């Protein structure tokens, strides 16, 4: 029976792989899942990304009616590993190989004068319908904001560990639950007339959205990819402050009250500071200890840019054609 602490319901399958995963999760963990087999089809497609997301979600809030023992089931982990290999291969192919960390980070700071991404569009031309769609997409991550990055804490040492914990402390509200960034986003969803329950829009989120969150879990759940996780975290913090400013301006133009934009205004100040801490104290100290991780740090930076660009192109393309960017219109 559902109760207030239950996770979201299992979503509808989007292909044979997600159908196997979802049917497996409905069973008792005493029943082994099918033997692991290499996934077929697009590693960034709907079927694999939903299947992978459902496996990862077992490490977060889980699903209503799904036995928590599935989290560490060897058969399910083996099946997940086949999907992870395909996903990681696509990410590596999409971003190439490089170990110039400073160059990768500096490139994020130099926004072209003619840049016109999703936050630019919403600020200049967007409407409330598109803003609500955008918030539904982002709810897949923001309702568990900073949780994936916490996996890095036991995998770092010294200054890098202490600095990352300091950033996470801010992300989790500095000891004030009402200021947790995930809580602020839930508040924002209610302002927009949207469902603030965790995972409420998983059914509507397309693969291009799920991939941005799956990347964080992939990097976070594998110690071998700790460099990629901190690279991703730094990239996210560098790009968030200017984007958040534009989103606050978009909501102001659309007539929302100033206190409704707190999620975004909080990020303008916080992430400008976090950017420097992550770059200097987390990445800097990590690479002084383990210089061989430079290539993985660049992977995290560029994979973030690669997947965010894909999401931005999807949103703007659908909106340009007068279409909904979700898998189905919001109620």
Same-domain check for residues 81 and 210:
no
Neighbours of 258 (CB within 10 A): 10
Same-domain check for residues 284 and 189:
yes
Same-domain check for residues 241 and 223:
yes
Residue 2 has pLDDT above 70, yes or no: no
CB 36 within 8 A of CB 79: yes
Name the maximum alpha-carbon separation found in the chain: 58
Q: Which two three-digit tokens encode residue 123?
A: 């600020």
Same-domain check for residues 170 and 255:
yes
Same-domain check for residues 122 and 210:
yes
Q: Which two three-digit tokens encode residue 139?
A: 């709810």
SS3 content of the chain, % helix, strand, coil (to 5): 70, 0, 30
Name the pLDDT band for 115 (thresholds 50, 70, 90). confident
Q: Give the residue-averaged pLDDT of 38-45.
A: 83
CATH number where 155 lies: 1.20.910.10
Name the pLDDT band for 330 (thresholds 50, 70, 90). very high
Same-domain check for residues 121 and 199:
yes
Q: Specify whether the backbone of 152 is left (phi greater than 0), alpha (psi in -120 to 50) or beta.
A: alpha
Residue 113 has pLDDT above 80, yes or no: no
Name the pLDDT band for 32 (thresholds 50, 70, 90). confident
Q: What is the pLDDT of residue 293?
A: 98
Specify if 3 maps to a domain: no
pLDDT tens-digit readout, 192-231: 999 999 999 999 999 999 999 999 999 999 999 999 999 9
Q: What percent of the chain has pLDDT over 90?
A: 86
Q: What is the pLDDT of residue 168?
A: 96
How many separate domains does the chain show? 2
Contacts by 76-82, CB closer than 8 A, 24 or more apart:
76/21, 76/24, 76/33, 78/35, 78/36, 79/20, 79/21, 79/33, 79/34, 79/36, 79/37, 79/55, 80/52, 80/55, 80/56, 81/36, 82/36, 82/37, 82/38, 82/39
Kindly report the length of the chain. Answer: 331
Residue 240 has pLDDT above 80, yes or no: yes
Q: What is the pLDDT of residue 110?
A: 78
Specify if 329 maps to a domain: no
Q: What is the C-alpha separation between 104 and 98, in angstroms, rounded?
A: 9
Q: What is the DSSP string of 95-124?
A: H-----HHHHHHHHH---TT---HHHHHHH
Same-domain check for residues 113 and 30:
no
Same-domain check for residues 156 and 282:
yes
Q: What is the pLDDT of residue 4?
A: 47
Specify if 38 maps to a domain: yes
Same-domain check for residues 262 and 302:
yes
Residue 3 has pLDDT above 60, yes or no: no
Q: What is the C-alpha separation between 191 and 257, in angstroms, rounded?
A: 10
Q: Of 92, 121, 139, which one is at a domain's C-terminal end?
A: 92
Q: What is the C-alpha separation between 237 and 268, in angstroms, rounded?
A: 10
Specify if 325 maps to a domain: no
Q: What is the C-alpha separation between 214 and 105, in angstroms, rounded?
A: 22
Same-domain check for residues 171 and 288:
yes
Q: What is the pLDDT of residue 81?
A: 95
Dihedral over alpha carbons 259, 260, 261, 266 (to 10 degrees): 60
Same-domain check for residues 117 and 63:
no
Residue 325 has pLDDT above 60, yes or no: yes
Of 213, 234, 222, 195, which Cα lies nearest the Cα of 307? 213
Q: What is the pLDDT of residue 5?
A: 62
Q: What percent of the chain has pLDDT over 70?
A: 97
Q: What is the pLDDT of residue 120?
A: 96
Specify if 224 maps to a domain: yes
Q: Give the residue-averaged pLDDT of 135-145.
A: 98
Q: What is the pLDDT of residue 273?
A: 82
Which of the two residues, 273 and 2, has the higher pLDDT score? Answer: 273
Specify if 1 maps to a domain: no
Name the pLDDT band for 1 (thresholds 50, 70, 90). very low
What CA–CA distances, in Å, run from 99 to 79, 202, 297?
A: 31, 35, 8
Q: Of 64, 92, 120, which one is at a domain's C-terminal end?
A: 92
Q: Which domain holds residue 25?
A: 16-92
Q: What is the pLDDT of residue 133?
A: 98
pLDDT tens-digit readout, 280-309: 999 999 999 999 999 999 999 999 999 999
Same-domain check for residues 109 and 88:
no
Q: Give the residue-averaged pLDDT of 164-173.
A: 95
Q: What is the mean pLDDT of the chain?
A: 94
Indicate yes or no: pTM above 0.85: yes
Specify if 137 maps to a domain: yes
CB 286 within 8 A of CB 230: yes
Specify if 327 maps to a domain: no
pLDDT tens-digit readout, 51-96: 999 999 999 999 999 999 999 999 999 999 999 999 999 999 999 9
Lowest mean pLDDT among 32-36, 183-187, 205-209, 263-267: 32-36
Q: What is the C-alpha separation between 295 and 261, in angstroms, rounded?
A: 37
Q: Of 92, 112, 131, which one is at a domain's C-terminal end?
A: 92
């Amino acid at each position: 029976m559902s109760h207030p602490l239950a996770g979201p319901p299992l979503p509808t399958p989007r292909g044979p792989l997600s159908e196997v995963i979802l049917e497996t999760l409905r069973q008792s963990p005493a029943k082994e899942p099918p033997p692991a087999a290499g996934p077929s089809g697009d590693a960034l497609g709907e079927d694999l990304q939903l299947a992978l997301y459902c496996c990862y979600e077992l490490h977060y809030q889980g699903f209503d009616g799904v036995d928590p023992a599935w989290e560490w089931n060897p058969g399910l982990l083996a099946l997940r590993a086949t999907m992870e290999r395909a996903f990681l291969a696509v990410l590596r192919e999409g971003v190439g190989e490089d170990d110039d960390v400073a160059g990768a980070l500096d490139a994020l700071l130099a926004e072209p004068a003619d840049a016109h991404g999703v936050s630019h569009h919403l600020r200049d031309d967007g409407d409330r319908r598109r803003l609500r769609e955008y918030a539904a997409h982002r709810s897949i991550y923001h309702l568990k904001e900073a949780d994936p990055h916490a996996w890095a804490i036991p995998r770092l040492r010294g200054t890098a560990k202490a600095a990352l914990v300091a950033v996470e402390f801010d992300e989790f509200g500095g000891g004030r639950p009402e200021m947790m960034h995930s809580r602020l986003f839930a508040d924002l969803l209610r302002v927009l007339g949207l469902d603030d329950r965790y995972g409420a829009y998983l059914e509507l989120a397309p693969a291009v959205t799920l991939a941005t969150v799956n990347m964080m879990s992939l990097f976070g759940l594998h110690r071998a990819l700790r460099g990629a996780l901190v690279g991703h975290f730094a990239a996210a913090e560098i790009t968030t402050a200017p984007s958040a400013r534009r989103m606050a301006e978009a909501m102001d133009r659309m007539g929302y009250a100033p206190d409704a934009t707190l999620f975004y205004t909080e990020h303008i100040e916080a992430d400008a500071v976090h950017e420097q801490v992550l770059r200097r104290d987390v990445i800097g100290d990590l690479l002084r200890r383990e210089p061989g991780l430079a290539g993985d740090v660049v992977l995290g930076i560029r994979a973030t840019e690669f997947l965010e660009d894909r999401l931005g192109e999807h949103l703007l393309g659908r909106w340009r054609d007068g279409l909904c960017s979700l898998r189905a219109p919001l109620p």
